[in-house]
Structure 1
């Protein structure tokens, strides 16, 4: 998993509440178990017109936000079904961080396991970030996970909270398997002792 330490980039504003995982990655894209190639299906139902052409009104189709690395989103982002394809699609598009006031629990956990940083802020701070994001490509946000800060284009800084274990894993690029393998020596020693006792 790619480490998340510091991220600087354009933030795309999505002032929509209750964006569910079917909106993030529609069901027709769930046939694959690969984590790559799903970026093209990200928000497909609203990103493309019926004829397959891009809807120029959709935020990620606008020139300023085509290379956005951060998404500033409305309340309850990632609700709905538990599909892990949702964080895969965001990551494959290039989104490394989503900022909102709240996230659905399963989506929140799936995102961390796939190297995405989800940041929860107050409604007042979210509004400030929306205003920054709506300034377009000339206004970038800078996120420092170690310091747990978001710096706006004018130098203002917000602090955010994150669970220490989740922070450690993101900083070190560890998913659950990687975390377990950090204790490989202790696990091997334990298994050797079991074998000596004839329990294996």
Structure 2
């Protein structure tokens, strides 16, 4: 069913630079805005349970990060979250097979890859009238602040000629349970490609997933 107002929560896993692993993933959790509070309440509830299991652990800014848990714990949390009305869109980049220029201007590359995700969301939601895009503040080091805001407005409203109310906001992840969900999702996707481990990814099989592998022709080769 096409959504008219969509909330998108964006986070990434891996490193977009030359080193530290072959793959880099940007994940987007898409939610009909009327369901956003419900979805975030579920994440808040599940992360609270995890904190109660580790009463002596110091959680930075009170946030439960995927990287701080065992893979089995991450998979268990994701299995609960996918019971809520969310969809997943993602792009995984094979850094061994991209052009050198994409390393030289990571901001421009990040904007382009995120645009591909937005294109897929819009293709699935042709009646969309409003889109709210929430990005982890930490990613402004890559996305270069307002550059993505300008870039996506030009692309959607001028190139695609879509009359959509676009809002791009950068939030601290510890203040957004939606971005925290995207953290777990992107972590599970990158784990699949980096370590050939589907323990988290297989939990996505009950919901809609739109996957993009870049570059399409040489990915994984």
What is the TM-score normalised by the length of structure 2?
A: 0.24
Q: Which has the higher contact order (CA 8 A, sep 6+)?
A: 2
Which is higher, the Rg of structure 1 or of structure 2?
1
Task: Choose between structure 1 and 2: higher helix proportion.
Answer: 2
What is the TM-score normalised by the length of structure 1?
A: 0.26
